Amino acid sequence: MPTDPVSRFLAALDPEHRQAVGDRPREEQEQLAAAWERELEADDELDTLDELSPPAAEAEAARRVLARETE
């Protein structure tokens, strides 16, 4: 299992978004990964989901981060 934040974030993305984010500069990837980690830490709803399915919680947080970026 990947341990660095960018690798974990990329692993949480669906394949289409993983490729698109993976093609971005490392600095952007790091910013998105940091936002993703903040989302996981801050959202109580994700805490509940995390207890049931950690991968699902990580995927939902990743989806939210990318959705905010395109707003």
SS3 assignment for the chain: CCCCHHHHHHHHCCHHHHHHHHCCCHHHHHHHHHHHHHHHHHCHHHHHHHHHCHHHHHHHHHHHHHHHHCC
Listed residue (54, 14, 39) closest to 31, CA to CA: 39
User: Does 71 score more than 80 pLDDT?
Assistant: no
List pLDDT tens digits, range 30-65: 999 999 999 988 888 887 877 888 899 999 999 999
CA–CA separation, 65 and 68 (whole Å): 5
Amino acid identity at 53: S
